[in-house]
Each structure stands twice: as C-alpha cells, then as structure tokens.
A and B are shown apart, each in its own frame.
Chain A
Amino acid sequence: MSFPRASGPGRKLILLGLVAALLALLSGCANVPQTTVMPKTEAAEKIQDLYVLIFWLAVVVFILVQGGLLYVLWRFRARPGHELPEQTHGNTTLEIGWTIAPAVILVVMAVPTIRTIFELESPPTVLANGLPPLMIEVTGKQWWWEFRYPEIKRPNGEPLVTANEMVIPTGRTVYLSISSDNVIHSFWVPQLMGKIDAIPNHDNRIWFTATDPGQYFGQCAEYCGIQHAQMRMNVIAMAPADYEAWAQRSSQPAQPETDIAKEGSEAFVTNGCAGCHTVEGNPTAIGMVGPNLSHVGSRTTIAAGILTNTPENLAAWIQDPQGIKPGSFMTNQHVRPHDVDAIVAYLHSLK
C-alpha cells in the first residue's frame, strides 16, 4: 500500500492528461469574440486589472497549498516498519497564524474591489469630448434585444428604435438603461463591460466608453427560456462622424427603390409580417411583437445575431424560422416563393 503502487493507474492517466492539455495550449488561441480578458474599454479594463490581481494571488495560494499538500503526502507516506506517529492534537499559534494570513490576503483583495465597485457605479463626471453620455434604453425580449435612442428623434418625434445591433460612437461614454418587459435577461458584451441583468420593473445601468471602432459581440447571460442560447447581439462602434451619419440616416424612413422591393413592401403586409414588425415608412407595418425592421438592410446579422444577413439566409429564416430557431415567436407564414424573394429584396433595401 505504498505510494508508487497506489499511483499505478494514476500516473499513466495524469501523464496522459498533461500531454493532452499541453497539446491543446500549443494549438494556439482561436479568434474568441466574447473573451473577457481582452477588454476594449476603460470600464472593462478596471475589471481586468482586478482579475489579474486576484488571479495571481490565487495562483500563489494555489501553489503554496497544493505544493504543501504534495510535500506532506510524499514526506509522511507510510513506510514499512514505521512506528505510530506522534499524536499531535493541534497548535494554537499555528491556528491563529492561518486564520490571520488569509484574512490579510482577503483585505488586500477587498480594498480595490470595493473601490472598483463604486468607480463602476456611475459614469465619469468628466465628459469625454465634452459630450454628455449617450443614453440608450436596452430591453431584453424573448429572444432578441431592443435598443431605443432617446437622443435620436424620428420625424414623428419618437425615439429611434433598433434591434440586436447597437450602434455607438467611439470616444463618447455610453450609458445603458437596461430592463425587460418579460422574463429576466442579462446584457453582456464582455469586451465592453461586465454583464448586468435586464429585470422587469428594474432599471439597471452600466456605462463604458469605446475607443476603437469595430464590432463587439455579446449574448444574453441569464437563462430566459427555450432560445436563451440564440439571443446574441452585436455592438458596432463607429467614429463620431460615421455615427452622426448613421443616426441621421436611421432617423429617416428608408424607401424601397426597385420594383421587386416595392412588391415586397406589399407582400410584407399581405403575408402578415407587418402584424409583428414595425417598418418606418410602411404605414401598415406597426407591429410591436418582433424586432423593428426599419433599417434591417443595414444590419450585419439577423435572427438575434445567429445568421449573417445575406439574401439566402433571410429567405431561409422567413421560410423556416422554427427549424432555425425552434420555439421562437417568429412563425412560418408559409410565404409563397415569389413573395419570399420580394420580401427579401424589400427588407434588404431598407438601409
């Protein structure tokens, strides 16, 4: 019952595990769009700084405890012919020591933790570029995201409403007011900021300031029903001038230009799509159940971030929503093939 014998099957398995882990690490890092450890905003960097501190503290404690454990196991393994070990019962000095030492480490963690909690609570009072934070109201839906821009008014005076892709300017703090009108969701775009839950009757806030133009990916992080997995989103950060142009364009209704697109505008109504979806400029399309499609042609993805916005994917989505996203509230309206083409052309003309 000595140590080497005990580890007979164990040693082989450990070796195998180590080789596997090494291979995996050597294989290199794939592109991981939702990584939490490559922050792109100051707010997310504050979190990352804390994580790095706690990570290394944990590594030190890990090595000390596991190393100590391995040493004890090796040093005090039973040997043949041994005598009964000394029957020690405890040591008060040691007990006090290993009560205080972890407490000290925890204080080292607690001070920057609490400081960061308060720092992340409200947006910086010093305004970036002299502009006040851009307020965006985020509503979690089953299973997509709605974004309202109180600052950007449509011709009728109502705020601009978009879905699943949130466009923001770089260099300006974005202040999100996050809620839900159904179940609980959680808004999480890791490279921009940690998550915050979207809870009915609650107005939760996070803020961040994107510096680099580009796309940032995220998804719902609170279990919210059958399609929780496919409730993704996409934040597109634009240089301020591009953002202004986008805001200007988006506040005006897009109009279909080609004949087939105009035909699609009617097919969109006759096939019942308009009952759930709003399209600015299409007076019948005022449904509130599904995502607002006023400028869906300018989006990069459809179906809450799961399909690239190509004509083929859009057609497939219209014809078989339950096959692509089982359980979602998008129904198969059994649209005739010709109408599908027309609707796709129409929706893609809405830029």
Chain B
Amino acid sequence: MAVTLPRPHAPAAPVQAAPEYGALPAYRGFISWLTTVDHKRIGILYGSTAFAFFLLGGLEALMIRIQLATPDGKFVSPDAFNQLFTMHGTTMIFLFVMPMSVAFFNYIVPLQIGAPDVAFPRLNAFSYWTFLFGAIFMNMSYFVDGMPDGGWFGYAPLTTIRFSPSHRIDFWMLGLQILGVASLAGAFNFLVTIINMRAPGMSLMRMPVFTWNTLITSFLLVFAFPAITVALILLMFDRFFGTNFYYAPNGGDPLLWQHLFWIFGHPEVYILILPAMGMVSEILPVFSKKPLFGYPFVVYATVAIGFIGFGVWAHHMFTTGLGPIVNSFFAASTMLIAVPTGVKIFNWMGTMYGGAIRFTTPMLFAIGFVSMFTIGGLTGVMHAIVPVDMQHQDSYFVVAHFHYVLFGGAFFGIMGGIFFWWSKFTGKLLSEKLGKWCFWLVFSGFNLTFGPMHFLGVDGMPRRIYTYGENQGWSGWFGLHWLGWNMVVSIGAFIIMAGMLVFIYAAIRSLLGPKNAENDPWDGATLEWSLPSPPPVYNFAVPPVVRSRDAFWAWKRRPQAVEAGENVATLQVAGHTVGHAEFEEEHPS
C-alpha cells in the first residue's frame, strides 16, 4: 500500500537509507579494507587498483610512442618493445578496462536494484583479491625473466616452448588463468545478484540500463572464459608437459589456438564495451532531462550483440586461409552485428533529441563516446569486407579502429562514469572546470593519436613493429626524416597524458577537500541518487518498491500521481525486511 509521499521540493527521502555504520571501528582503518565484504568498498578497491594499472599501461604506451615517433628509433631495444606492446594490451584489457568495469558493477548495481549488497559478498571479496594476485603475479615476470612478449593474443606456436623458452609466457599464461577465476566468480555473483535481488516491483524491463549491461556482460564472461581457459590449459600442457596441441611438426595445429582464443576474444571485446555503453545509457538521459529513448530496443540490441558476439570470431582470422565459404559467413555475421550497434547509437541520439542538454563533464565524455564509437564502428564494418581486411589486417588501420572502440568507446564511457558517479563514491564534488580541461585534452589528444593511425595503416605500416626505415614513407614531411604522422601520433599520446594529469590533479584536490556533495547533484533518475553520498553500509534500510523505470526520477516529478494512486512512475517505501536483524523495522504501510 502506498504511503503518502512528500511534495517534489520537500526534503524527506523517498527511500530509507540504512543506519550509518561507517563510523564503527569495523569500518575504519587499513585492516578494514583488507577484510571488507561491502560491495561499495570492494568497488573502490577494484577501481583504484584498475586505475593504477591504467597508469602502468599508459606508461607502456608512451614508451612505445617515444620509440616509434621517428624512424630507426633507439629508445628501447626490440626485445623491450615487444614486452611493452604485449603488456600494454594485456594490462589495458585485463587489468584496467575489465576490473574498472567491475568496479562500477560493484558500486552501482546493488544501489540501482535496491539491494543491500551483492548475493555473495565473500565471493566478491575473493574475486577482488584473486584479481589483484593474478595481476601482480603476471607483472612479477619482469623481475624474473622480463615481461611477457608474445602479444596479448599469445599466438601459438610463437608462445610454445620452442620459440619462447623463457618463463615470460608462463607468467602470462598462468596470470591470465588466475584472472579468469576472478572474472568468472565475479560474473556468477552479478548474475545471481541481478536475477534474485532486485527490489520488489523491479521487473527486468524496469531495470536501469547499466544493470542490464552488467547482466549481459556477466553472461558473456561466463560463456566466453571457458574457451580461453581451455586454450591456456592446452598451452600449459604444451609448455610444461611436452604435448603437441599447437606444435606443427608433431601434428599439432597452430590455428587451434586462434579459434579458441578468438571464440573468447571477440565476446571479450563486448565484455569491454558493454559496461561503458551502460554508463553512457545512464548519463545521456540525465543530462538531456529525458528518459532513455527506445529503452526496450536498447535492451534487445544489447542482448542481440551478446548473442551475435559469439558468432563473429573468425573475422580476426580472415587472412589465415579459412576458405571463401567460411570467410563469407563471418563477413555476413560481422556486418549483422553492426545493426544492433547502430540501433543503440540512434537511440542515444533520440534520447538527446528534444532534450535540454547540459554539457557537464560526464555528458561530454558520453557524447564523445557516441561520436568516437561511431567512427570505430564504421571502420569495424570495413574489416568485415574480407578482401579489404586482407590489406588492413595487422596494419595500423586496425590499431586505429580498435582504439576508437576501446579508447573512444570503453575509456570515454568509463571516464564519463567516473565523473558522473564520483560524488556518489566519495561524497565530494569533482571540479567541472578541470573536468572540461581533462575532456578536451583527452579528446583532442585521442584524435591526434589514433586518427592518423588510419593513414599509416592505409600506407601499409604493420602493427607490432619496433622500428621502420626512412625509406618506408611513414615519415619525411618537408624533407625532415623525423617528421610525419608517427610524430603526430606520439605528440597526441602526450596530450592524452596531460589530460589525465589534469584528472589526477582534480581527483586529488577533491579527495583532500570537504564532503560537499548532495545526494543527487545531477537530478538523477535511478535509485542510487536517492541515497546519501556515499551510501551507508547495506544501503537501504528497507527495499524500495519500484513501480516504473527511472524510479527515483518518477518519484521526484510525479508525486501527485503517486498520491492519486496512479500506477505510473511510482516509488514506494514498504515494510519489507532485509535479512539482517538491525533492519527489521516496520514502516507504516
């Protein structure tokens, strides 16, 4: 039964926050961070660890770009270069984008679905510590034999013991396996949480879109990781026990690795991008002051991408000689996946159409996502054109393409998410002025870095080369042997670095400053904005009852309708109990 709800400007909370336990000794001090099972603190652990690895991966990228700025670069040795690009890719994918997405899953999803925590809080802590161990383990390779140098894709037979006899690949292979355990445990946790712990009334089609994307990403993780697990176990047997799964002279097939790797690897691309898409789908409506346009279609499109994502892996293998029939099939399936992707882009534009757009920092990053991801999507379709891919495959054109998807896409989405939810995480505001400097520096640096890579790819520059000659035409403007697109690309990389330094400065200044954030600084739509910033342990005293999408927005705008008993846009507080004695309090109902 509905309770009488206050007027829109009345301060009373529509949601009862849990009592503040944060001041108790159990929630203070260094040790409490080691033992915590609170989803929000684990989220912060995930996020700060991932950001540290982002800095490491970014440093590796800068070293790559110093080496390649001019022909015949002498900054690092070929051996070091191969380690750098291997660990840049591995770090950014497995140690930054994935755990950073999981940080948002952890912090935001239980709040959005009105739950006190994830389904298995201890398993959640296990996931984090396993991830941290795996990440450290992999990087320990540096102190033993040098960093892994087989590429993030680890193609056999180069990674077999005959061609990579050192322990570098062992660290990479076992490290990935450990990270896989962490990812799988986390994915199952979020599946169970989202399926079972939604607030009363929150049907699947009332779920916030970020939660939807978390759900589908978790399914992708559960179905994709077994393939890489098997691939890595076979590699381990080849390396440690002398089997011949990938070793051609004894009858093994190197293509087996590629199939297994990309059956995992392509869904992995969606594992990286879907969380960011979810964040953008939350940010665009809030700063357009409109609900997400075509919500069901966005959801179906996400589901469709999840399904089709398992049927396109061989487009990474168009030049391996799979034959015209296989190539045609995967060309068609790859083109097909552009359709739901397009649907999402159009719906994001439909969301902004007719709105009142506020150009805040999170909104700038979200708009940047839509714009840059479109470019990455278009070049992605180009790679579905098999004959064209025979020219572009393994050239800088591909490097440009997937950075438009993963930097212009996943990273912009994550940055948008950080600026959007920062006040919820910390209770403090981030400077909008510095935020905009950060955005415009990163945005222009990004395009300066990855735009010209298209030209270099078309000019025939292959990926993963540690050097190139003056006679190859990838430099030499105005007769200056050192000047060319490669120099522009490298300068762009340092502009990105400048933008990120602005962000770090803004973040530190905010963290050292006072707690000045309101609960709902952006006029948000989803339940997390109804809680204090940061929310208390266990979040809600009682599960909120949800009667529509964008439950909090609806409550703020239409209280009269709620009072009138209309079954629209209603959020109620009902006397449910949460499985914890302290919370068993009756609410007048």
Stretch of A200-208, A273-281, A337-345 lying at the B interface: A200-208
CA distance A46 to B364 in the complex (A): 41
Given A33-B472, A34-B459, A54-B381, A87 contacting B394 (CB threshold 8 A) = no
Q: Do the beta carbons of B390 and A220 come within 8 Å of each other?
A: no
Which chain A residue lies CB-closest to B485? Answer: A24
CA distance A133 to B163 in the complex (A): 35
Q: Which residues of A contact B346 (CB under 8 A)?
A: 94, 98
Task: Decide if B6 is an interface residue (CB 8 Å cutoff).
Answer: no
Q: Which residues of B contact A99 (CB under 8 A)?
A: 339, 342-343
CA distance A10 to B394 in the complex (A): 33
Measured CB to CB, the closest approach of chain A to B219, in angstroms, equals 23
Measured CB to CB, the closest approach of chain B to A1, in angstroms, equals 5
CA distance A201 to B245 in the complex (A): 13
Q: Do the beta carbons of B158 and A204 come within 8 Å of each other?
A: no
Q: Do the beta carbons of A228 and B464 come within 8 Å of each other?
A: yes
Chain B interface, number of residues (Cβ within 8 angstroms): 113
Which chain A residue lies CB-closest to B300? Answer: A95
Q: Which residues of A contact B473 (CB under 8 A)?
A: 30-35
Task: Decide if A263 is an interface residue (CB 8 Å cutoff).
Answer: no
Which chain B residue lies CB-closest to A204? Answer: B321
Given A27-B477, A98-B342, A110 contacting B335 (CB threshold 8 A) = yes
Task: Decide if A84 is an interface residue (CB 8 Å cutoff).
Answer: yes
Contact indicator per residue, chain B 350-384, by CB within 8 Å of chain A (1) or not (0) = 10111111111000100100110011001101101
CA distance A90 to B387 in the complex (A): 39
Measured CB to CB, the closest approach of chain A to B329, in angstroms, equals 10
Q: Do the beta carbons of A221 and B393 come within 8 Å of each other?
A: yes
Stretch of A65-73, A145-153, A155-163, A253-261 lying at the B interface: A65-73
Given A1-B359, A86-B354, A224 contacting B321 (CB threshold 8 A) = no
CA distance A199 to B158 in the complex (A): 11
Task: Decide if B588 is an interface residue (CB 8 Å cutoff).
Answer: no
CA distance A103 to B301 in the complex (A): 14
CA distance A310 to B231 in the complex (A): 47
Given A62-B375, A73-B357, A184 contacting B158 (CB threshold 8 A) = yes
CA distance A86 to B290 in the complex (A): 7
CA distance A184 to B314 in the complex (A): 17
Q: Do the beta carbons of B441 and A114 come within 8 Å of each other?
A: no
Task: Decide if A91 is an interface residue (CB 8 Å cutoff).
Answer: yes
Q: Do the beta carbons of B460 and A76 come within 8 Å of each other?
A: no
Q: Which residues of B contact A37 (CB under 8 A)?
A: 458
Q: Which residues of B contact A50 (CB under 8 A)?
A: 385, 387-388
Q: Do the beta carbons of A184 and B319 come within 8 Å of each other?
A: no
Q: Do the beta carbons of B378 and A186 come within 8 Å of each other?
A: no
Task: Decide if A240 is an interface residue (CB 8 Å cutoff).
Answer: no
Task: Decide if B248 is an interface residue (CB 8 Å cutoff).
Answer: yes
Chain A interface, number of residues (Cβ within 8 angstroms): 103
Q: Which residues of A contact B336 (CB under 8 A)?
A: 106
Q: Do the beta carbons of A82 and B324 come within 8 Å of each other?
A: no
Which chain B residue lies CB-closest to A94? Answer: B350
Q: Do the beta carbons of B328 and A8 come within 8 Å of each other?
A: no
Measured CB to CB, the closest approach of chain A to B557, in angstroms, equals 8
- Residue of B335, B485, B557 with most partner-chain A CB within 10 A: B335
Stretch of B15-23, B76-84, B576-584 lying at the A interface: B76-84
Q: Do the beta carbons of B295 and A221 come within 8 Å of each other?
A: no
Task: Decide if B395 is an interface residue (CB 8 Å cutoff).
Answer: yes
Q: Do the beta carbons of A58 and B382 come within 8 Å of each other?
A: yes
Task: Decide if A78 is an interface residue (CB 8 Å cutoff).
Answer: yes
CA distance A1 to B255 in the complex (A): 54
CA distance A225 to B452 in the complex (A): 26
Question: Which A residues from 296 to 342 make CB contacts under 8 A with B?
Answer: 306, 326-327
Q: Which residues of A contact B475 (CB under 8 A)?
A: 30
Q: Do the beta carbons of B371 and A47 come within 8 Å of each other?
A: no
CA distance A225 to B381 in the complex (A): 30
Q: Which residues of B contact A46 (CB under 8 A)?
A: 387
Q: Which residues of B contact A31 (CB under 8 A)?
A: 473
Contact indicator per residue, chain B 127-155, by CB within 8 Å of chain A (1) or not (0) = 00000000000000000000001010001
CA distance A223 to B350 in the complex (A): 43
Contact indicator per residue, chain A 284-297, by CB within 8 Å of chain B (1) or not (0) = 00000000000000
Measured CB to CB, the closest approach of chain A to B109, in angstroms, equals 23
Q: Do the beta carbons of B374 and A90 come within 8 Å of each other?
A: no
Task: Decide if A251 is an interface residue (CB 8 Å cutoff).
Answer: no
Q: Which residues of B contact A121 (CB under 8 A)?
A: 323-324
Q: Which residues of B contact A79 (CB under 8 A)?
A: 356
Measured CB to CB, the closest approach of chain B to A128, in angstroms, equals 21
Task: Decide if A127 is an interface residue (CB 8 Å cutoff).
Answer: no
Measured CB to CB, the closest approach of chain B to A206, in angstroms, equals 8
Q: Which residues of B contact A118 (CB under 8 A)?
A: 324, 328
Q: Do the beta carbons of A10 and B436 come within 8 Å of each other?
A: yes
Q: Do the beta carbons of B319 and A197 come within 8 Å of each other?
A: yes
Measured CB to CB, the closest approach of chain A to B386, in angstroms, equals 5
Stretch of A167-175, A188-196, A241-249 lying at the B interface: A188-196
Q: Do the beta carbons of B294 and A199 come within 8 Å of each other?
A: no
Question: Which A residues from 23 to 69 make CB contacts under 8 A with B?
Answer: 24, 27, 30-37, 46-47, 50-51, 54-55, 58, 61-62, 65-66, 68-69
7 contacts between A and B (CB under 8 A): A10-B436, A73-B352, A109-B381, A184-B157, A217-B472, A222-B394, A223-B151
Top 3 closest A-B pairs, CB basis? A194-B390, A34-B460, A200-B248
A contact set with B: CB distance below 8 Å? 1-3, 6-10, 13-14, 16-17, 20-21, 24, 27, 30-37, 46-47, 50-51, 54-55, 58, 61-62, 65-66, 68-69, 72-73, 76-79, 82, 84-91, 94-95, 98-99, 102-103, 106, 109-110, 113-114, 116-118, 120-121, 142, 181-184, 186, 188, 190, 193-197, 199-202, 204-205, 217, 219-230, 306, 326-327
B contact set with A: CB distance below 8 Å? 77-79, 82, 149, 151, 155, 157-158, 163, 248-249, 251, 253-255, 288-291, 293-297, 319-321, 323-324, 327-328, 331-332, 335-336, 338-339, 342-343, 345-347, 349-350, 352-360, 364, 367, 370-371, 374-375, 378-379, 381-382, 384-395, 432, 436-437, 439-441, 443-444, 447-448, 451-452, 457-469, 471-478, 484-485, 488, 557
Given contacts A114-B332, A186-B393, 18 further A-B contacts (CB under 8 A): A6-B436, A10-B440, A50-B385, A69-B371, A72-B352, A73-B352, A76-B288, A87-B290, A94-B346, A110-B331, A110-B335, A114-B328, A117-B328, A120-B390, A121-B323, A202-B255, A219-B465, A229-B465
